[in-house]
Amino acid sequence: MIALLLSLVLAQGYAPPRQGQDPLDAEREARVQRVGKLLRCAVCQGVSIADSPASMARAQLDKVRELVTEGKSDDEIFDYFVDRYGQWALMEPRKSGVALAVWVAPVLMLVVGLLLVLGSMKKPVKAVAPADAPAEDDYLAQVKKDLGQ
């Protein structure tokens, strides 16, 4: 059974491994890796292009190197990938525009929730007998009388 599975897997094959470009100088390479950790690998499951061993991730990281070399800002690099894959390309949603709601909404909902809870916690009300309350119920008086109290 294992042999059969192995043969099927091997027959299907994998992409041959490919080396990425050489790293840039230390300062720019650190920026490449930092930006790469914030970009999602297109052929992986929830892994950044800096962390994935996939060839496609290396190609994407090479693109980051190319854009860094061209002097692009971090936002311009993110835009390049967002233009192709949408906000999905970002490991963390942006803290601007509509995506800002993702960051603000949980805090806002927590505050609103707390306010609701505090609002529903009523202060204990002192029991005060109304001034014009009737002396005693007639029926209760009759019951007490019958019981000899």
Partner 1 sequence: MKRAAAIITALVLVGGLVFVLGRAFGTDPHAVPFKMAGKAAPNFNIKRLDTDEIVSLASFKGRPIVLNFWATWCGPCKVEHPVLDWAASKYGNDVVFLGIVFEDTEDNTKRFLKENGWSFPQLFDPKSTVAVDYGVSGVPETYFINRAGLIVKKYPYPFQHPSQFEHEIQEIL
Chain residues in the site for partner 1 (CB under 8 A):
11-16, 18, 21, 42-43, 45, 55-56, 59-60, 62-63, 82-86, 88, 105, 109, 112, 116, 119-120
* Closest by Cα among 35, 122, 121, 109 to 76: 35
Helix (H, G, I), strand (E, B) or coil at 40: strand
Among residues 11 and 107, whose Cβ is nearest to partner 1?
A: 11
How open is the CA angle 126-131-132, to the nearest 5 degrees?
A: 135
| Residue pair 20/59 in contact by the 8 Å Cβ criterion | yes
Q: At closest approach, how far in Å is the CB of 9 from partner 1? A: 11
List, as own/partner pairs, every contact residues 5-8 make where C-beta atoms lie below 8 angstroms and the sequence separation is at least 24, other chains included.
Answer: none
Q: How far is the CB of 109 from partner 1 (least distance, A)?
A: 6
Least separation in angstroms between CB 34 and partner 1: 19
When the beta carbons of 47 and 82 are compared against partner 1, the nearer one is: 82
Smallest gap from residue 83 Cβ to partner 1 (A):
6
